[in-house]
Amino acid sequence: MSSAANDKRGHLESEFQRRMHDAEASPSPDLWARIDHDLTIQESKHYKGRMVWYRQLAAACFVLFILAGALLTYTYKTTGSIDAGIAAMQLNTETGGAAAEMATTGAAPVAPGMAESATSALEQSMAAAAEVTTAPLSDAVAVAKATINRTDTKQAVEQSINTNASGDYRRVQSAGTAQYNLHATTDKPSAAIAAGQSSYGGNATGSETNHSSHPAAKSLFDIGRPFFQTARQAITAVPPAFRNTADQSMATETGRTRSLVELSQKAVTDYLSKEEKTAEQTLALNGPVAESTGKADQEAKKEGRWSLGLGYAPSYFNQNIQMPGQMMGTVSRYSLLAGGPDKSAQTSENMNEARDEFEANTDPAFSYAAEVKAGLRLGKKIKLLAGLGFTQNTARTKSSYIIKQFLFKPGTDERVEMPGTTVFLPSLNNNFTTDSLSVSKTDKFYVNYRYRHITVPVGLQYEGNISNNWFWYTSGGVAANFLIETTVMASTSEVKDVQYDHNDNSPFRKVQFSGNVSAGFGKRISNAVSVTAGPEFRGYLNSLLAEPDKALAPQGNPYTIGVNMSVNYNLGQK
């Protein structure tokens, strides 16, 4: 309240100040009751306001939860429904249709008229089998999908066993296997039909011809032998009127199915895992298909676009605050040069030593950052990350000097001692605001500087595979850091702790931007869960002080160096 410039005071001022400054007057007895009433009303309002805020927060969380749930449900339900649709369609259009027909019309009714057509179709089957060996990835996927149909087909076939007294069990049982070939040749449906027709006659020569003509064709024929029988049965079951257009209709159906299969890779992954044994058998028998199945695996791994991550980064923090070359000049209190507070030569010497000590003994201390991040995969290897975090940055000084400041009560020589401090806080201003000060040396003590921020990070992460389960990553990003608390704590009772909350008028910057880079290695624990670890550098783009130009101490940009560890969960993978 006092001012050093307020020096033109006359006798009148002094007399009034002497009489009035510490004067006392009794307020009316009911004044406290009025204040009490006001406080009660205010607390009630505050409570109500807080309740409203909590209610709004709860409502916002609920809405956010519903929106996120709806988004996720929509994302995965859409894919799921396509898969379900495909499965149903395949059952109805291919297996179901054929098998049902088989079941109702008899499993193996050999139509004599078909024998002639089988001989001519044999030639087509040769070409078809050759083409099948170069079947693309979708064929491999279709192989796995076929297994779903097998069960239904088996049921249908079992029915056919019951209805057909002369049915051959081996032939009927293989109807399920036949579906492999039916799907495996989806790329060339007409050829598949042709292959089926070729074996319709039950001609062993035809099979042998295929075996010897092409190794791939041989393998297909090994698997496909039952198929031919079943296809024959299916073709037999087709009404004659429909038989002429069978090639065309089958091609149309399989073409549609193929496009949908490409959209439903997730379902395929599930089926593949369930029928792993069957797939392995297929892989063992057929090289190119095995290769394409591996690709399908990789495709499946790319499924989950969204991920959630929890990160923790212990680090060391350098607040990068230097000490000024000289804190102040020695000026007498009574001097006309009002350049600073009154102090002794010993204090000046101690001040310099305190300054040097701060420079030498200020070290980074343990700090940490904790973040929750959501990730969105933008490409095969790039992920966009955004989230919310908390950081606590700490630095520490080992000190042995205490600064005591004094104010003179206006118009009197009475000295009021201000709480003790260290060289740090005064260096953040452009001058001491007190009338006099002394710097005294004491036992060693610690001063802790702690800065707490709420951070909103955004960044990109690039990943590359090292092996099946290991990968490397590099990431970079920026973050907005909102200062919520600054504390300067000393381990001696002679120095007063100072704490600034987020809404206090503090010399520190309220919002600070930072950039961070990190690189390291990761391991996939499962398809859904992975862990990463690697060094991280986080540099702040501004100084800690809001107005560094006005501070005595030179201000650099603070930074942290630490290790970033995180656990990530990929949504949509099991």
Partner 1 sequence: MNLFKKPKSEEDILIEGCIAGKREMQRLLYEMYSKKMMAVCLRYAPTTFEAEDIMQDAFVKVFSHLQNFKKDCPLEFWIRKIMVNTALKHLRSKQLLTVSHEADEVANLPSDNVNLSDYSMDELLGMIQSLAPRYRMVFNLYAIEGYNHKEIGEMLGISEGTSKSQYSRARAILQSMLTRHEKNYNEHVISS
Positions that interact with partner 1 (CB under 8 A) = 1-3, 5-6, 9-13, 15-28, 31-32, 34-36, 38-39, 42-43, 407, 410-411, 416, 418-419, 446, 448, 489-493, 496-501, 503-504
> For residue 315, what are the CA distances in angstroms to 32, 366, 450, 544, 564?
52, 6, 14, 18, 9
Residues sharing a CB contact under 8 Å with residue 485, sequence separation 6 or more, in sequence order:
450, 451, 452, 499, 500, 501, 502
Min dist. Cβ of residue 536 to partner 1 (A): 25
Min dist. Cβ of residue 10 to partner 1 (A): 5
Min dist. Cβ of residue 402 to partner 1 (A): 14
Q: In whole angstroms, what is the distance from residue 240 CA to residue 471 CA?
A: 59
Nearer to partner 1, 2 or 352 (CB): 2
Q: In whole angstroms, what is the distance from residue 144 CA to residue 48 CA?
A: 62
Residues sharing a CB contact under 8 Å with residue 260, sequence separation 6 or more, in sequence order:
82, 85, 86, 89
Nearer to partner 1, 414 or 467 (CB): 414
Full DSSP string of 211-280: HHH-HHHHHHHHHHHHHHHHHHHHHHHS-HHHHTTHHHHHHHHHHHHHHHHHH-HHHHHHHHHHTHHHHH
Q: In whole angstroms, what is the distance from residue 241 CA to residue 78 CA?
A: 38
Min dist. Cβ of residue 495 to partner 1 (A): 9
Identify whether the C-beta of residue 234 lies closer than 8 Å to the C-beta of residue 98. Answer: yes
Identify residue 190 by its one-letter amino acid code: S
Min dist. Cβ of residue 405 to partner 1 (A): 9
Min dist. Cβ of residue 411 to partner 1 (A): 7
Min dist. Cβ of residue 304 to partner 1 (A): 42
Nearer to partner 1, 256 or 333 (CB): 333
Identify whether the C-beta of residue 512 lies closer than 8 Å to the C-beta of residue 319. Answer: no
Nearer to partner 1, 35 or 72 (CB): 35
Nearer to partner 1, 21 or 333 (CB): 21
Min dist. Cβ of residue 376 to partner 1 (A): 40
Full DSSP string of 150-215: HHHHHHHHHHHHHH-TT--HHHHHTHHHHHHHHHHTTTSHHHHHHHHHHHHT--HHHHHHHHHH-H
Nearer to partner 1, 311 or 340 (CB): 340
Identify whether the C-beta of residue 521 lies closer than 8 Å to the C-beta of residue 328. Answer: no
Min dist. Cβ of residue 493 to partner 1 (A): 4
32: β partners: none
Q: In whole angstroms, what is the distance from residue 384 CA to residue 380 CA?
A: 12
Min dist. Cβ of residue 47 to partner 1 (A): 10
Question: What is the H or E stretch that residue 63 is in?
Answer: helix 31-90
Q: Judging by DSSP bridges, how do beta strands 382-408 and 362-364 pair with one another?
A: antiparallel
> For residue 571, what are the CA distances in angstroms to 441, 462, 568?
60, 18, 9
